[in-house]
Chain A
Amino acid sequence: MSGSTAAEPWIRRSANPKLDRVMVTPEGVSLNVTVAAAGARAGALALDIIIILGLIFLVTIAGLMLLWGLGVAVDGNLENASGPLQLLAVLWIISVFLFRNAYFLYFELGDRAATWGKRAVGIRVAARDGGRLTAEAVIARNIVRDVELFLPLVFLTSGEASGSMTDLTAWAGFLWVLMFLLFPLFNRDRLRGGDVIAGTWVIENVKKNLGDIVAPSAANLSDDGTAMVTRYQFSDDDLSVYGEYELQTLENVLRSDQNEALQKVAESICQKIGWEPGSGDERVFLEAYYTALRARLERSMKFGKRRKDKFSPHE
């Protein structure tokens, strides 16, 4: 993936840069995505399993209540049961099967392509090639889940219960589970077996708010009286000490708007460009400097010259 117009590599986008990827939309625009970390996946799965168990539990309770309401005695042997008890047993088996399989299908086919567990941890399923996430893909990734997770669990527990489990089969089953559970850790994109088969991956949701303009006072003042522009005039030399990295650090400081940080940054900038640091006017000074620096960097950007940080050479 080339992604020439993707975000610059020196901008740190997520907690673990190893998980940052570029996905190209059908329009040819590359978008930055972050692959969901293994921990988030495990958390989401645990939540989903708890929810499914909860649903099964609720259905069981509801069935028992119904039985109790109908006054049918439960006499242990379901195989020879008859009437309402049998009907309920059939419904119960079918609903458990549906919960186990259709729960994932229904939610991952929805608009948010995520089960409740995935929504809770803020991740979703997407097609790896940037195309549409198809129903077939969702079905494929969830059929394989059965083998990865539920089957070995059933196998191990039933084998244990019936006592037919030898040490060898127990270990084989354990290895099987382990192999699939750890599979996502052994590939870059954190794909589990089902993701490989279905051509999907699981990525993080993003939700960012549009912040205000970084340096509004610069606009205000210059607009109606140019008081500030006359107060702070920066020469070319004053602006040439910093690059884009410093500009973005300054942006963060301005956005977070904490007096202490403003003061410290103003001081260090003054020191760097050889000005005498004033006091009480840090925010206006920093906004003015930010605006001037950004104007300068954006101008040279138009000519295809970018400056990464203060250590990069001048063009």
Chain B
Amino acid sequence: MSAAVLRSDRFRLEREADWMRLEDIVTKMEKGKSRRLSDDDVLALPTLYRTLLSSLSIARENSLDAGLIDYLEGLALRSYFLVYGTQTSLGRWLGSFFSGGWSRAVRAIQLDVWIALFVMIAGVGVGYILVAGDSDWFYALVPGSYADVRVPGATEEALRGTLFGAQDKGGLGMFAAFLFSNNAQVAILAFALGFAFAIPSILLLIHNMALLGAMLWVFAQRGLTVDFIGWLSIHGTTELFAILLAGAAGIHVGRSIAFPGKRSHLKAASDAGKRAALVMTGVIVMLICAGLLEGFARQLIDNTAGRFAVGGAMLLLWLLYFIGFGRERRSPEA
């Protein structure tokens, strides 16, 4: 059947073989068998795809064979997704992420980091001042499960006991894993709530930091301020930094939705969302570190100076990474 009456059918017969070849390649790739493709086929994919697109454009203008056009449309869409698919594997993406993608993303939302930092400091201040004014506030701010012995009016020994000498406690690893899972949820919440114009993110930051401020007051009353900060800083520099970044990412998204500038709201949201997603992946990594520090290091290092050393070193490490790393290479698509 080499000849056809209609010109549009002849057009089809001339190109059919290429389409079939492309369909074969696409089907194999979709089934995850791309390794079995020959080099020729892999190289031919983009060319075949562009040929198909031009065939489709011609067919739309010249052919009234609806079945044919449907087929071409479907095949064009399938091969489009392969040609313009996610070209990174999870592993390769992680590589580029750690070698600069992460720190660049953090620097890109600098303004929001400052806002989040201000909000967090304000939160600590609010918590401290409220409880200092009326210690009943403590019970409103701190959920019951945290409070146990750490309540206003507790003795110095009782408070000191919560800070030191906990190393006989079993299940440290378990505790760390639990803390990580828990903190990751708080951070994710702080980010994702940014969706609602960032206000819930800010409230969440203030609430969590007010809790910290209230706790700080309790310990300050018994002259344990430095020890408390040491106890907190060993993992806190990492964890609070992570929560700071998560909050900043949330604020970034919320701010972009509320004030998109010249872009459309949807475009602004998705631009900000992708940038913030990078930051958030990093936040999860930081929280894993924080969980490990909190579960192991805090219980194992039992003096304030050592705790300050570890906490300070971690803080310095993060700051160096975010401020200095990956700076020379400008990201091409940013």
Q: Which residues of chain A have a CB within 8 Å of any CB of chain B? A: 5, 7, 11, 25-27, 29, 31-33, 78-82, 86-87, 89-90, 93-94, 96-97, 105-106, 109-113, 124, 126, 128, 131-140, 143-144, 146-148, 151, 154, 193, 196-200, 205-211, 213-216, 218-220, 222-223, 244, 247-248, 251, 255, 291, 294-295, 297-298, 301-302
Contact status A206-B78, CB under 8 Å: yes
Interface members, chain B 1-53 (any A CB < 8 Å)? 1, 3-9, 12-13, 16, 19-20, 23, 29-30, 32, 34, 50, 53
Instruction: Tell me, yes or no, whether B275 is within 8 Å of chain A by CB.
Output: yes
Contact status B71-A209, CB under 8 Å: yes
Contact status A222-B5, CB under 8 Å: yes
Q: Which residue of chain B lies nearest to A210 when distances are taken between CB atoms in the complex? A: B71
Q: Which residues of B contact A154 (CB under 8 A)?
A: 185
Q: Which residue of chain B lies nearest to A197 when distances are taken between CB atoms in the complex? A: B273
**In the complex the two chains form, what is the Cα distance from A139 to B172 in whole Å?**
31
Q: Which residues of B contact A295 (CB under 8 A)?
A: 5-6
Interface members, chain B 247-284 (any A CB < 8 Å)? 253, 266-267, 269-278, 280-281
Q: Known contacts A111-B30, A251-B66: does B80 contact A31 (CB below 8 Å)?
A: yes
* Residue count of chain B within 8 Å CB distance of chain A: 84
**In the complex the two chains form, what is the Cα distance from A231 to B73 in whole Å?**
36
Q: Which residues of B contact A206 (CB under 8 A)?
A: 73-74, 77-78
Q: Known contacts A132-B85, A136-B275: does B20 contact A210 (CB below 8 Å)?
A: yes
Q: Which residues of B contact A132 (CB under 8 A)?
A: 84-87
**In the complex the two chains form, what is the Cα distance from A302 to B71 in whole Å?**
22
Interface members, chain B 128-187 (any A CB < 8 Å)? 170-171, 173-178, 180-181, 184-185
Q: Which residue of chain A lies nearest to B145 when distances are taken between CB atoms in the complex? A: A162
Q: Known contacts A132-B85, A295-B6: does B270 contact A31 (CB below 8 Å)?
A: no
Among B23, B93, B174, B188, chain A packs the most CB atoms within 10 A around the CB of: B174
Q: Which residue of chain A lies nearest to B185 when distances are taken between CB atoms in the complex? A: A151
Contact status B53-A105, CB under 8 Å: no
Contact status B171-A78, CB under 8 Å: yes
Instruction: Tell me, yes or no, whether B314 is within 8 Å of chain A by CB.
Output: no
Contact status A126-B81, CB under 8 Å: yes
Among B85, B173, B277, chain A packs the most CB atoms within 10 A around the CB of: B277
Q: A7-B69, A210-B20 are in contact. List 12 more A-B contacts (CB 8 A).
A: A5-B57, A7-B60, A25-B53, A25-B80, A89-B174, A105-B90, A136-B275, A137-B277, A147-B195, A197-B270, A213-B9, A219-B3
Contact status B30-A199, CB under 8 Å: no
Q: Which residues of B contact A89 (CB under 8 A)?
A: 171, 174, 177
CB-defined A-B contacts under 8 Å, sample of 24 = A29-B76, A31-B76, A80-B170, A81-B174, A86-B171, A87-B173, A89-B177, A96-B181, A97-B181, A111-B34, A113-B81, A135-B86, A143-B277, A197-B195, A198-B273, A199-B267, A206-B77, A208-B74, A211-B68, A214-B67, A291-B5, A291-B6, A297-B64, A298-B64
Q: Which residues of B contact A209 (CB under 8 A)?
A: 71
Of B57, B77, B170, B177, the residue contacting A93 (CB under 8 A) is B177
Chain A's nearest CB lies how many Å from the CB of B231? 20
Q: Which residues of B contact A5 (CB under 8 A)?
A: 57, 60-61
Contact status B80-A86, CB under 8 Å: no
Chain A's nearest CB lies how many Å from the CB of B247? 14
Nearest first, the 5 closest Cβ-Cβ pairs linking A and B are: A199-B270, A197-B273, A147-B192, A140-B277, A206-B74
Q: Known contacts A134-B274, A140-B276, A301-B62: does B4 contact A213 (CB below 8 Å)?
A: yes
Chain A's nearest CB lies how many Å from the CB of B214? 19
Contact status A301-B269, CB under 8 Å: no
Q: Which residues of A contact B62 (CB under 8 A)?
A: 298, 301-302
Instruction: Tell me, yes or no, whether B308 is within 8 Å of chain A by CB.
Output: no
Q: Which residues of A contact B188 (CB under 8 A)?
A: 143, 146-147, 151
Contact status A136-B69, CB under 8 Å: no
